[in-house]
Amino acid sequence: MRGKVVCFGEVMLRLSAPGAEVLLQSARLDARIGGAEANAGVSLARFGHDVRMVSFVPDNPLGRTVVAELRRQGLDVGGVRTAPGRLGLYFLTPAAGLRPAEVLYDRADSAFAMADPDAIDWAAELEGADWLHVSGVTPAVGPGAAEAALKAVRAARVKGLTVSFDGNYRKSLWDLWPTDGAAILADIVAAADLFIGDDRDVALILGHDFPQTDPMERRRAAAEAAFTGFPQLSRVASTHRVVYGADRHGLAGFLADRDGHWTAPPLEVTGIVDRIGAGDAFAAGLIHGLRTEMAPQAALDFALAAAALKHSIYGDFNLVDVSDVEALLAGGGDVKR
Amino acid sequence: MRGKVVCFGEVMLRLSAPGAEVLLQSARLDARIGGAEANAGVSLARFGHDVRMVSFVPDNPLGRTVVAELRRQGLDVGGVRTAPGRLGLYFLTPAAGLRPAEVLYDRADSAFAMADPDAIDWAAELEGADWLHVSGVTPAVGPGAAEAALKAVRAARVKGLTVSFDGNYRKSLWDLWPTDGAAILADIVAAADLFIGDDRDVALILGHDFPQTDPMERRRAAAEAAFTGFPQLSRVASTHRVVYGADRHGLAGFLADRDGHWTAPPLEVTGIVDRIGAGDAFAAGLIHGLRTEMAPQAALDFALAAAALKHSIYGDFNLVDVSDVEALLAGGGDVKR
Amino acid sequence: MRGKVVCFGEVMLRLSAPGAEVLLQSARLDARIGGAEANAGVSLARFGHDVRMVSFVPDNPLGRTVVAELRRQGLDVGGVRTAPGRLGLYFLTPAAGLRPAEVLYDRADSAFAMADPDAIDWAAELEGADWLHVSGVTPAVGPGAAEAALKAVRAARVKGLTVSFDGNYRKSLWDLWPTDGAAILADIVAAADLFIGDDRDVALILGHDFPQTDPMERRRAAAEAAFTGFPQLSRVASTHRVVYGADRHGLAGFLADRDGHWTAPPLEVTGIVDRIGAGDAFAAGLIHGLRTEMAPQAALDFALAAAALKHSIYGDFNLVDVSDVEALLAGGGDVKR
Amino acid sequence: MRGKVVCFGEVMLRLSAPGAEVLLQSARLDARIGGAEANAGVSLARFGHDVRMVSFVPDNPLGRTVVAELRRQGLDVGGVRTAPGRLGLYFLTPAAGLRPAEVLYDRADSAFAMADPDAIDWAAELEGADWLHVSGVTPAVGPGAAEAALKAVRAARVKGLTVSFDGNYRKSLWDLWPTDGAAILADIVAAADLFIGDDRDVALILGHDFPQTDPMERRRAAAEAAFTGFPQLSRVASTHRVVYGADRHGLAGFLADRDGHWTAPPLEVTGIVDRIGAGDAFAAGLIHGLRTEMAPQAALDFALAAAALKHSIYGDFNLVDVSDVEALLAGGGDVKR
Amino acid sequence: MRGKVVCFGEVMLRLSAPGAEVLLQSARLDARIGGAEANAGVSLARFGHDVRMVSFVPDNPLGRTVVAELRRQGLDVGGVRTAPGRLGLYFLTPAAGLRPAEVLYDRADSAFAMADPDAIDWAAELEGADWLHVSGVTPAVGPGAAEAALKAVRAARVKGLTVSFDGNYRKSLWDLWPTDGAAILADIVAAADLFIGDDRDVALILGHDFPQTDPMERRRAAAEAAFTGFPQLSRVASTHRVVYGADRHGLAGFLADRDGHWTAPPLEVTGIVDRIGAGDAFAAGLIHGLRTEMAPQAALDFALAAAALKHSIYGDFNLVDVSDVEALLAGGGDVKR
Amino acid sequence: MRGKVVCFGEVMLRLSAPGAEVLLQSARLDARIGGAEANAGVSLARFGHDVRMVSFVPDNPLGRTVVAELRRQGLDVGGVRTAPGRLGLYFLTPAAGLRPAEVLYDRADSAFAMADPDAIDWAAELEGADWLHVSGVTPAVGPGAAEAALKAVRAARVKGLTVSFDGNYRKSLWDLWPTDGAAILADIVAAADLFIGDDRDVALILGHDFPQTDPMERRRAAAEAAFTGFPQLSRVASTHRVVYGADRHGLAGFLADRDGHWTAPPLEVTGIVDRIGAGDAFAAGLIHGLRTEMAPQAALDFALAAAALKHSIYGDFNLVDVSDVEALLAGGGDVKR
């Protein structure tokens, strides 16, 4: 934890239906801020790391709200530039009962998506940092963002930073511009130390499936394939979500390095408040574990508990501290006085 | 789906405690619109049917709110008349934890209850329609409404419409005026094609019990008795609610015609948001299945899934579309992006 | 139920995060009134008992809000005095998912904590009463309060009232002033007829542990030890909370007198709305049972059902009536119309 | 202030649109409690008087809310009986800009309107009281209520209480039952000491107009006519509302006894929060002045300032204390710290 | 009022800060629907006219909300098509004290702006209509919309409909695409019967200023120039907003035809709730007056009163009826019971 | 604007009644952050200055909320230490109509009030700063705070910073500890360059009154006396609040240096949203003017306009930018699009 963690990605305004309502059932929206890399960054800041956000927002009240909120959460916002375009939005109908959550993206032509990939001098931007985190959402939003993401991870590699990449593959996202998403993802993974992705992500990138029945076996096979395909890659991790029932999920974890692999058995997650951002919370938990030199099993357990706790927090950000995660790992409890 | 579905019944203002509060614990009420037939009508409109509401409301801001809300939900409100009297209200304390929901009716002397049974020329009103839906709540609210309901179903039969009748027997409702509820219900069932009612409804109407232990066996016996007692009746259906525990219900389905019967195994319903209107959602789902010529099992499964989804929607109306029901039947899912 | 129940203790303003938010995540707090003895008193008043609250509040709008709210709940507030100091506050982050509830006390230097122990003429104050209820929170908040609590229970004993004492031991509370909490608690138990406390409370007071594995066995051993140590004590009771899973607790009950002991098997409590005050609800339920001369098992069952229902009510107060408890004991139900 | 003030009248649930919305523009209603005599009673209780409310409410959660709210406000609710029927409601759209407030009554067939006039033993009910207050709304709601009001004022006269009667004539109210409202009002005024009514009220009761141009002259002439027509009447008072502009009212006051008359010049009332209940606040202020033996001018000034302050309070009740009224009379001020 | 009024324009989701907050000061937005032509259409529907909305919305929950809300307000939504693209949004910070309201448009690339101008067969769309209303916002949002607006007004002229055009010139809007706004506006005015625009609008279109000092003189001169420049134009109207002070506006009206001109003196508008949509309310009021064959002065007075009332209504829509406008014209009043 | 502005003072949690309610009329409080020096600091940060806050907060969620909120507003929070004690609170009932706002302080024993005056190494803390701002509230809260304030201003003087001191004398505040407030204030003014205080502040400090009738004359005389009494003082400034009527204030400004004096005529402030913090907004506006080397009249005008705008912003902080102030100075306007 000597240096800073730099997170690069789009930050959006999230507009969600209040309570268990469907979108615009009543005339009110809850407004929050979120985005895959910012979510991970906020969590890392709460875990005690110096985090610098790099992004583009419009020079208007919405963009300024994003900056203010990131500042509130303790991020260094010196790397958030203004640029022409809109602020990306997403509308969220939270899950309720047997009804799944629903996300409606409204992020086309955002300041981030349209930003000039050369607007950032990455050598300067990464000064003082020892870690770079990006996700697969970033290259998906537009060609400029894809090019910028590649420049970022390559510059990080040159400077000797650790690079973590959260695949985060979502088919609907890649409709925003016509390209070969798998190839771009492969280019980024090629520059990464830690790849957060499951067998489906690896299958997409490498172009072949993993037929094992057991999900952890599939992940192990995929990790091995990834280690073969990407020589610099040192770790592969993912969660495995098991939907036991409507309101009750199980969340298991997987981590592999070139010497072995570790699994964390499913944590039962009930009374879900907000499932959005759980993957980012896992990424942040894992990065925290690795940066604080936890043993692999401990790092994985910490990451999984952090992700499980995220389900209890409203909004994209995982507003919990190390002590909250540790308390859950120690068995949870009744009222904390 | 060539013609319209006509729904006849009272529409009320529902005033409920917000969140998990008890009634008037804090100084606020959530105001929604509902009523058995309107609930079914709104669901049918979302499923793609042309639905015409026939009702009576007072000529005041409350009555106009009812009309506006039905219009918002896509119903043809040309059949909603104004009449002297109040708007019927009901106060709702939602269920929470081990505490059951509580309904307090305040619908005496409503414009609907006091309406002149001759105010509607049913032959004209049913023009262009091929389906009429009424529920057992309608005759319960007053003698005029009872007479109007009978006139409606008889006119519908004369004109060759399909008539569905949802028994909806609730003891407390029939206290509104002194009469023989069972006899009136029998007269309406006598004019119906589809009767939605379980063995208790049939027992009440026919005057003898069904002693079978298994709930589906009781329903089958009751359906057979109903088919015997009411020669024109072609289908009998019902749900079977199993309270596994405080916050977790099971909802099973039953459908019989003169050739056979079908059952749908219990769907586990957890994280219940609002249980009111689930029966109306079942009725709408079944009517949709029958009108779109689904096979009996498919229609029953669709109706049960629709009813189960209703538990996830705040308010009386089942604000889901055919695609939502189909997604649940296909296995549900995590976040829909 | 000839006489009044007098409750003596601090009443606070509780400020809690709305919904499932963490404290001050958004710029709003829900404000409620609560305190161990007032919570029990409100519940007893709803169960039909005459209840007089004795307390100290500041002479400002916050103190007046406390008085008004107790009055609203049907308590005789003639014994609530004004005194210099602040109103005690506590900030609450409700539990959600895997995240436990969190209480932050801000009650130092409250009017209650700083009140003169001689400000109350207990002989006069207890006139017309046949029951006094205090909890272990009261002596914890300060030396004056501790002295007043002792004076109260001793005066009650002299006048022949039944004295109930709810141990309510919370380590963090006793940090408010430097003293030997166990000794003070022992002095109060020595004057009590009914002690609500489990084996940990008894162990603390008597200074030796109860090593039995089975929780009910430990409670029985502790009750026997308490009966030995405190000659006037006639009953010992407690709940046993079993955390089956994150969102699902079990609540069992224990009651002993000098002739025997009774247990109530765990009630499964799900869909928890607000867990605060459940212990006070148990105390009130038990006092109600004893004052209405229920048999021990019936009194214990009633108390446990009352405590279980509390989890479904927002706020500290258990806003349920005898009929609600009886309905749960009779099996609960679906919608109550 | 030796004895109690008894207030007799209906208490309703008021359901109003939040903020500046029109009724049911959004799906929420603010719920408050109000009614002419209760409003005056609450204000008197805050001014330090012992106030006993006599009324009828239904035995349901709505009726219990009324009782609890009156208790919260410090009234003795021992005289509030339960009776068959509904709780009277009224729906309020608050005024905004150039748009006047709008009240929609829904009080037909209320427990109060349908109560048996012989249900109250007035001799017993008035024990310990030295003042009775009723308003013209009470006899308007139904024949039983009218008879009860007459019995009340006559019993009060027999027992030597001071009787105040606030005319409160509203044409729309007297449509609830067919009768000669003027004759009933005259019967009540005949038993009153203090009549709060302007020249229009007196004209209605006595059957002749007051043609003077100046509003205070008209009031003086009307007062003289009233003193002539009703031998026992000792005081007549009223306000005079001057609508200077849309959002700015002037409120003047008038008081006469058999020896003279006094006027209070218009107070400018701006930034109006809630105009409902201002007349009741005037009545309470005047009764307070008379009961505390203020000189006539001082009593009138106090009453007018109390009424003016009511416009700043949300809800029917005038939640201000004597010190607030005195501060306004002393010139108001900036922030009070 | 034999035929329908057709309104053609974009309908947006308006997201505004609640109360007097600045945008996103707290984490909530109020969501309403609005757009110049829809606003006028809703007002006309409330005034009793048959109104058909023609527009384009995306086929997603936001587009469906627009349709549902227009339906709720009583519009025929048969002419609202779905098309690719986003739903146009605008963010609103309401005015407060000395702080002006602030609108942030986010409507680029909306379904309406990108719609194919040939998607509508105007001859068919205008069947049954006798009036077409469009505003200057419509051609501003994009070239397709501009072309569609021209096709609409020309088709209306061919079919003999009355065409009203509300200039609504806003400089910031015409930045959305590069064009000569004045020329397009002139083409539309050339096809209009009623042009709502003041001297600045006419100056822009005709290219010369009106130097008169008196605002009504300027309007008269501009109207004369417009009548000269556009031979088919029969009426020109506008409001004149006078900002007397921060919270107090005056709103005057002007109407001219080829035979004369009329003015309505300033109405003082205080306690402003929501100023957005006042111009559309004026347009609707004037169209109502003309369609119901009011004399010019009466139509102008009605329009001005309608616009003044709009300031008291939250949201874009003027939720008042003819009776409300008439009551204001008759002098307003205190509480309406 | 080369260096930082350092602000030293307590930051509190402000809990206010929502809307126009009285405190705890309903069960909700709005929670904001505020404090005289933080308010000025936030405003300065929005005006483009680098601002460092120095304060003490408890190490709990409330203290962390303060830090997060200051960070959100753009302040450097590196100088905010944690210390034992509570977070100071204040409860606010906003003004409404004729009812003045009411502040209830609950700040005794706060972490700030109890902080060790030697905890801050002022020489280090002021490094990189060229301006120090404190207010008279700081020494009032306790002896440690008073000593710390003196140390701060003396260290600032030694280092050559400009020192601004806002007198902010409030009698109720100085009750928190027994001392000679005037002497302490004098010691601080003795070290200040800019004193914000009117003739009452100067009179208190110097011990003699200013008898002039005209408020600006009194201010001039007081400024002259202050310049005489405090040799290093270079500027004296104040506002003059004129309460024209209940809902309408006038705000005038005064500024003097040793060469002359300037006045700004009253700005009419209507539609007041929140009056708290207006004085701090004036201080920030003036400091901004002086730091950007505006001429005295321009600086005073800017400060007064900033203070006037504050009345339109909810909360303690003046959330306006330089462009908003300049727009008001340029004449304000209607909707800003």
Q: List pLDDT tens digits, range F311-324.
A: 999 999 999 999 99
Tokens 């206010």: give the residue: F16
Residue E42: the pLDDT is 98
Residue-wise pLDDT tens digits, A198-213: 999 999 899 889 999 9
What mean pLDDT, rounded, does chain D reach?
94
Question: SS3 of B220, please?
Answer: helix
Q: Chain A: give the shortest CA distance to residue B310, in Å.
A: 9
d(CA C61, CA A118) in angstroms, rounded, equals 60
Of C281, B62, F249, A87, residue with least CA distance to E97? F249
Residue-wise pLDDT tens digits, D241-298: 987 766 789 999 999 999 999 999 999 998 889 999 999 999 999 999 999 999 999 9
E172 has a pLDDT exceeding 80? no
| Window 30-49 of C, Cβ < 8 Å to F | 30-32
With CB atoms and an 8 Å threshold, state whether C72 touches D68: yes
Q: Which helix H or strand E contains A308, and what residues bound it?
A: helix A296-310
Q: Chain E: give the shortest CA distance to residue F273, in Å.
A: 7
| Pairing label, strands E162-166, E194-196 | parallel
> Angle formed by the axes of helices C143-159 and C181-189, to 10°?
10
What mean pLDDT, rounded, does chain C reach?
94
Residue B1: the pLDDT is 55
A1 has a pLDDT exceeding 70? no
Burial B51-78 (b: 16+ CB within 10 A, else e): bbbbbbbbebbbbbbbbbbbbbbbbbbe
Residue B271: the pLDDT is 87
| Window 69-88 of C, Cβ < 8 Å to D | 69, 71-74
Return the CA Rg of chain E: 19
D68 to chain C: which residues are within 8 Å by CB? 72-74
Residue C208: the pLDDT is 85
DSSP state of A173: G
Query: Which residue among F270, F314, F327 places its CB closest to the CB of E25?
Result: F314
Q: Chain D: give the shortest CA distance to residue B234, in Å.
A: 41
A130 has a pLDDT exceeding 80? yes
**Amino acid letter, residue E220:** R
Which of B65, B72, B76, B320 is the best substitution to test chain E (most E C-beta atoms within 10 A)?
B72
Of A121, A116, A56, residue with least CA distance to A86? A56
Residue-wise pLDDT tens digits, A6-53: 999 999 999 999 999 999 999 999 999 999 999 999 999 999 999 999
Residues E168-172: what's their mean pLDDT? 73
Q: Where are the alpha helices (DSSP H) in chain E?
A: 36-46, 61-72, 122-125, 137-140, 143-159, 181-189, 199-206, 215-229, 278-291, 296-310, 322-329
Both tokens assigned to C295: 């048999």
How many residues are recorded in chain C? 337
How does residue B298 score in pLDDT terms, banded at 50, 70 and 90? very high
Closest chain F residue to B28, measured at CA: F26
With CB atoms and an 8 Å threshold, state whether A312 touches C20: yes
Residue-wise pLDDT tens digits, E278-287: 999 999 999 9
Distances E224 to E204, E219, E295 between C-alpha atoms, Å: 15, 9, 20
A313 has a pLDDT exceeding 90? yes
B282 has a pLDDT exceeding 90? yes
With CB atoms and an 8 Å threshold, state whether B332 touches A170: no
Residue D1: the pLDDT is 55
Q: Chain E: give the shortest CA distance to residue F127, in Å.
A: 33
d(CA C230, CA C157) in angstroms, rounded, equals 14
What mean pLDDT, rounded, does chain E reach?
94
C28 to chain F: which residues are within 8 Å by CB? 28-31
Closest chain C residue to A319, measured at CA: C22
How does residue E246 score in pLDDT terms, banded at 50, 70 and 90? low
Residue-wise pLDDT tens digits, C287-305: 999 999 999 999 999 999 9
With CB atoms and an 8 Å threshold, state whether E275 touches F332: no
Both tokens assigned to E225: 């120039």
Does any CB of chain E come closer than 8 Å to the CB of residue A107?
no
d(CA B64, CA F55) in angstroms, rounded, equals 57
Residues E126-131: what's their mean pLDDT? 98
Strands annotated E in F83-152: 89-93, 102-106, 129-135
A97 has a pLDDT exceeding 60? yes
Closest chain B residue to A278, measured at CA: B335
Question: SS3 of B191, please?
Answer: coil
Residue A331: the pLDDT is 86
Distances A124 to A78, A230, B150 between C-alpha atoms, Å: 12, 27, 82
d(CA D11, CA C332) in angstroms, rounded, equals 34
Q: CB–CB of C243/C311 below 8 Å?
A: no
Residue F265: the pLDDT is 95
D72 to chain C: which residues are within 8 Å by CB? 68-69, 71-72
Residues B27-50: what's their mean pLDDT? 98
Tokens 């008042």: give the residue: E320
Of chain B, the percentage scoring pLDDT greater than 70 comes to 98
Q: Chain C: give the shortest CA distance to residue E26, in Å.
A: 7
D331 has a pLDDT exceeding 90? no
Residues D17-38: what's their mean pLDDT? 96
Residues C97-107: what's their mean pLDDT? 93
Query: What are the φ/ψ torsions at residue C237 (nearest 5 degrees)?
Result: -145, 160
How many C/E residue pairs have CB atoms within 8 Å? Answer: 6
B195 has a pLDDT exceeding 80? yes
**C118 burial level (CB within 10 Å; 0-12, 13-18, 19+):** exposed
The set of residues, in sequence order, having a beta carbon less than 8 Å from that of C259 and lying 6+ positions away, is none
DSSP state of C97: T
Query: Which residue among C21, C97, C172 places its CB closest to the CB of A271?
Result: C97
Residues C46-55: what's their mean pLDDT? 98
DSSP bridge pairs for E164: E133, E194
Residue C232: the pLDDT is 96
Q: Chain E: give the shortest CA distance to residue C27, in Å.
A: 7
A81 has a pLDDT exceeding 60? yes
Domains (range + CATH), chain A: 4-237 (3.40.1190.20)
What mean pLDDT, rounded, does chain A reach?
94
Q: Chain E: give the shortest CA distance to residue D120, in Å.
A: 31
Does any CB of chain A come closer than 8 Å to the CB of residue B336?
yes
Of A137, A144, A145, A141, residue with least CA distance to A165? A137
Query: Which residue among E71, E73, E74 places its CB closest to the CB of B74?
Result: E71
Residues B163-175: what's their mean pLDDT? 82
ipTM, interface predicted TM-score of the complex: 0.94
Q: CB–CB of B235/B194 below 8 Å?
A: yes
C311 has a pLDDT exceeding 90? yes
Residue D168: the pLDDT is 83
Closest chain C residue to A32, measured at CA: C26
Residue F1: the pLDDT is 55
Residue A246: the pLDDT is 66
Question: SS3 of E92, please?
Answer: strand
Residue D111: the pLDDT is 97
Residues D157-170: what's their mean pLDDT? 92
D2 has a pLDDT exceeding 80? no
Residue-wise pLDDT tens digits, D172-229: 667 777 788 889 999 999 999 999 999 999 998 998 899 999 999 999 999 999 999 9
d(CA A128, CA A143) in angstroms, rounded, equals 28
**pLDDT digit string (tens) for chain F, length 337 residues:** 579 999 999 999 999 999 999 999 999 999 999 999 999 999 999 999 999 999 999 999 999 999 999 999 999 999 999 999 999 999 999 999 899 999 999 999 999 999 999 999 999 999 999 999 999 999 999 899 999 999 999 999 999 999 999 998 776 767 777 788 889 999 999 999 999 999 999 998 998 899 999 999 999 999 999 999 999 999 999 999 987 766 779 999 999 999 999 999 999 998 889 999 999 999 999 999 999 999 999 999 999 999 999 999 999 999 999 999 999 999 877 888 8
The set of residues, in sequence order, having a beta carbon less than 8 Å from that of E151 and lying 6+ positions away, is E117, E120, E122
Sheet holding D260-270, edge to edge: D76-82, D51-57, D4-8, D129-135, D162-166, D194-196, D235-245, D248-257, D260-270
Distances E319 to D101, E18, E45, E261 between C-alpha atoms, Å: 14, 19, 10, 29
- Helix/strand number for chain B, H first, E second: 11, 13
A174 has a pLDDT exceeding 80? no
Query: Which residue among F22, F97, F248 places its CB closest to the CB of D311?
Result: F97
With CB atoms and an 8 Å threshold, state whether A71 touches F72: yes
Residue D305: the pLDDT is 98
C1 has a pLDDT exceeding 60? no
Calculate the CA dihedral of residues B74, B238, C331, C268 and round it to 10 degrees: -70
Long-range contacts for F241-247 (Cβ within 8 Å, ≥24 apart)? F241/D334, F242/F266, F243/D332, F243/D334, F244/F268, F245/D268, F245/D270, F246/D268, F246/D269, F246/D270, F246/D271, F246/D332, F246/F97, F246/F98, F247/D270, F247/D271, F247/F97, F247/F271, F247/F272
F73 to chain A: which residues are within 8 Å by CB? 68
Residues A265-282: what's their mean pLDDT? 94
Strands annotated E in chain B: 4-8, 12-16, 28-34, 51-57, 76-82, 89-93, 102-106, 129-135, 162-166, 194-196, 235-245, 248-257, 260-270
| Pairing label, strands A89-93, A102-106 | antiparallel
Task: Give B274 or C334, the one with higher predicted confidence.
Answer: B274
Both tokens assigned to A66: 């994003």
DSSP bridge pairs for B268: B250
D59 has a pLDDT exceeding 90? yes
Query: Which residue among C19, C272, C319 places its CB closest to the CB of B97?
Result: C272
Residue D101: the pLDDT is 92
Closest chain F residue to A66, measured at CA: F72
Residue E233: the pLDDT is 98
With CB atoms and an 8 Å threshold, state whether B72 touches E74: no
Residue-wise pLDDT tens digits, E84-123: 999 999 999 999 989 999 999 999 999 999 999 999 999 9
Residue B116: the pLDDT is 95
Does any CB of chain A come closer than 8 Å to the CB of residue E319?
no
